[in-house]
């Protein structure tokens, strides 16, 4: 798959500017069309703050100013509160027709117009790879050193396919697995299987294994990424049912969304 159509979500927070810069850089590298989307929150939907009156115009001005001299094909999407759509629903609908969705990590101590379940719903519902950008930090360049966090299963398999355009451009790739406790752990190191697969795509990946301990797999992934200078993590996330039948991310996915230190490409 080539990345030729990117959607970046813009919200009212200052960190939207850094997220937009990253999306622009990706669009330039892949010669892709870039669309920006701002969705107004209606007070009908609970658990978050209503959109301020000047936010839609400010978001559009930010997008247009940042992309004016970028040499890109661009598009602006404004979904008003009168649409009756929740923010996640609107973003999901527009993400269906894109190759990549870029959103921001939530700061759960900063109440804004985004509901707490926004990332979960978008990642599980859009059917597209979602690049989540931390709300703190400068990430204008990513994908030079990529860590693939692998756990044998359909979500991880999909994440590899989604990430191939980025993996091909990387200077270094680390394929790191965690034991599943199933029989496939004993065939050979799972990251070795993955490294062989990537090599057939012309991607030379270093393989490694994470072993469960007191800090948990999520923190092990973040520690490995830090120790090896990774600027992008690739992860397939699974879902689990919550009370009422609503789906949410599994434990590792939730942990990375809260504690991420580098941009993370998530696939479901």
Quick: pLDDT tens for 142-193: 999 999 999 888 999 999 999 999 999 999 999 998 765 554 444 445 567 8
The pLDDT value given to residue 51: 66
User: Are 156 and 231 members of one domain?
Assistant: yes
33 class by beta-carbon count within 10 Å (0-12 exposed, 13-18 middle, 19+ buried) = middle
Report yes or no on 182 lying in a domain: yes
Report how far residue 72's alpha carbon sits from residue 243's, in angstroms, rounded to the nearest whole number. 44
Q: Is there a single domain that holds both residue 44 and residue 118?
A: yes
50 shares a domain with 84:
yes
241 lies in which domain range? 145-267
- Do 172 and 248 lie in a common domain? yes
Q: Round to whole Å and give the CA distance between 251 and 131.
A: 18
How many structural domains does the chain have? 2
CA 125, 90, 264, 185: dihedral to nearest 10 degrees?
A: 0
126/12 same-domain check: yes
Q: Look at residue 186 in the predicted model and tell me its pLDDT.
A: 46
139, two tokens = 């990430």
The confidence score (pLDDT) of residue 104 equals 97
Q: What is the CA radius of gyration of the chain?
A: 18
- The residue ranges of the chain whose pLDDT is under 70 are 43-51, 111, 179-191, 212, 214, 240-248
* Pair (116, 160) in one structural domain: no
Residues in the chain: 268
State the pLDDT at residue 13: 92
Residue 109: its pLDDT value, please? 78
The reported pLDDT for the residue numbered 187 is 43
Asked which of 95, 112, 133 is the last residue of a domain, the reply is 133
Question: For position 57, which CATH number holds?
Answer: 3.40.50.620
**121 and 97 share a domain?**
yes
């Amino acid at each position: 798959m080539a990345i030729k159509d990117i959607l970046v979500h813009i919200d009212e927070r200052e960190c939207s500017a850094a997220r937009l810069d990253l999306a622009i850089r990706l669009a330039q590298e892949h010669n892709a069309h870039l669309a920006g989307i701002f969705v107004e929150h209606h007070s009908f939907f609970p658990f978050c703050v209503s959109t301020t009156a000047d936010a839609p115009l400010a978001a559009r001005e930010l997008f247009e100013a940042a992309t004016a001299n970028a040499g890109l094909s661009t598009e602006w999407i404004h979904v008003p509160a009168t649409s009756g759509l929740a923010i996640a629903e609107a973003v999901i609908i527009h993400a269906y027709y894109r190759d990549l969705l870029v959103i921001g990590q939530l700061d759960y101590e900063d109440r804004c117009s985004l509901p707490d379940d926004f990332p979960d719903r978008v990642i599980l519902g859009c059917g597209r790879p979602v690049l989540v950008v931390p709300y703190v930090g400068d990430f204008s360049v990513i994908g030079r050193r990529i860590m693939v966090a692998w756990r044998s299963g359909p979500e991880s398999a999909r994440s590899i396919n989604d990430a191939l355009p980025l993996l091909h451009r990387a200077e270094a790739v680390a394929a790191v697995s965690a034991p599943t406790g199933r029989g496939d752990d004993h065939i050979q190191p799972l990251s070795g299987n993955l490294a062989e697969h990537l090599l057939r795509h012309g991607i030379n990946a270093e393989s490694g294994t994470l072993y469960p301990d007191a800090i948990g797999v999520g923190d092990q992934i973040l520690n490995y990424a830090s120790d090896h200078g990774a600027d992008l993590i690739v992860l397939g996330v699974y879902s689990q049912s919550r009370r009422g039948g609503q789906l949410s991310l599994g434990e590792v996915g939730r942990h990375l969304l809260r504690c991420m230190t580098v941009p993370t490409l998530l696939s479901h």
